[in-house]
Structures are given as structure tokens and as C-alpha cells.
């Protein structure tokens, strides 16, 4: 468990490149022996299609809900957690989601980071439009 005064809770939705160092720093603590980070990166394929780029759009409450996901996981685990999700136009290789968790030991940090990412993916109202190499596009997660 995180033994600092207050577990770090941070949730950001941004149209700028994610400051991964700031997200990581938000969870670091002298009492933590493990900091686990997850980078969700735009890949060049999905479902047999070649992807050219993605556009992410968010509901106006997305940042509040992302922060709630972070707060809930922090409360459930007692660990420091933080995450940021990017919106707007992203190219192949850009980071769309960055999540970080710190803990005294690696297993609890890995488990909490997975929980955080799954909670974000299932709860935060952010949708993506995939642009295919053939010029077609489709919305995912509407």
C-alpha cells in the first residue's frame, strides 16, 4: 500500500501530447519500490484494416469521469494512481492513454495499473474514429 500522506490522484483529458513525466511524478514516492506505467499507443492496424490515423472525441464530462476512475482505484487499492487521455487527431505511434501506479511491490502496482486501464476503457466517454489507409473511416466505441 501507498504509505505517503495522500495517494496521488490525477486524471487529465488533453488535446496536447501527454506529459508522461508529470503523470509518473504524480505517483512517485520514497516509499514505493515499484512504479508501473502503461502507454496506450496508436497502432497501424485493427481488425484486418491498415490504420492511417485516429481522431478521439470526448464527452464534456470525460475529464471528471477519468478523475473519478483514478480516485476510485486509489481508494480501492490504497495506491497512488494517475492517468491522462489525449483527444484530437493522433498519428501512428502517438500516445493516446498514459497511466501510472506506484506501490511498495511490483505485483500490486501491476494489478492496480491493469485495473485502472480497464476502468478507464470501460467508463470514460471517449470515442475514436479510425482512418484507414484506403480512405474509409469508422467510429469505434460509440
- What pLDDT score was predicted for residue 141? 73
What's the domain range around 118?
9-140
Domain-embedded: residue 127: yes
Its pTM stands at: 0.91
CATH of the domain at 116: 3.90.1170.40
- What pLDDT score was predicted for residue 9? 76
Domain-embedded: residue 13: yes
CA atoms within 13 A on the CB side of 81: 31
Domain-embedded: residue 90: yes
Domain-embedded: residue 14: yes
- What pLDDT score was predicted for residue 2? 32
The segments of the chain whose pLDDT lies below 70 read 1-8
Residue labelled with grid coordinates 475514436: 128
Distances (CA, A) of 2 to 33, 110, 111: 10, 14, 14
Which sign, positive or negative, has the C-alpha torsion 45, 46, 50, 54? Answer: negative
- What pLDDT score was predicted for residue 8? 62
Domain-embedded: residue 124: yes
Domain-embedded: residue 2: no
- Number of domains observed in the structure of the chain: 1
- What pLDDT score was predicted for residue 130? 97
Amino acid at each position: 500500500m501507498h504509505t505517503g500522506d495522500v495517494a496521488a490522484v490525477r486524471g487529465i483529458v488533453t488535446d496536447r501530447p501527454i506529459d508522461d513525466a508529470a503523470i509518473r511524478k504524480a505517483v512517485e514516492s520514497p516509499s514505493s519500490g515499484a512504479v508501473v506505467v502503461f502507454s496506450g499507443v496508436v497502432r497501424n492496424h485493427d481488425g484486418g484494416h491498415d490504420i492511417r490515423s485516429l481522431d478521439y472525441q470526448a464527452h464534456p464530462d470525460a475529464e471528471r469521469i477519468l478523475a473519478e476512475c483514478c480516485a476510485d482505484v486509489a481508494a480501492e487499492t490504497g495506491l497512488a494512481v494517475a492517468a491522462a487521455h489525449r483527444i484530437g487527431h493522433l498519428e501512428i505511434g502517438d500516445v493516446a492513454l498514459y497511466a501510472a501506479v506506484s506501490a511498495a511491490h511490483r505485483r500490486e502496482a501491476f494489478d492496480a495499473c491493469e485495473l485502472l486501464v480497464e476502468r478507464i476503457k470501460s467508463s470514460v466517454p471517449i470515442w475514436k474514429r479510425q482512418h484507414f489507409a484506403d480512405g474509409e473511416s469508422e467510429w469505434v466505441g460509440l
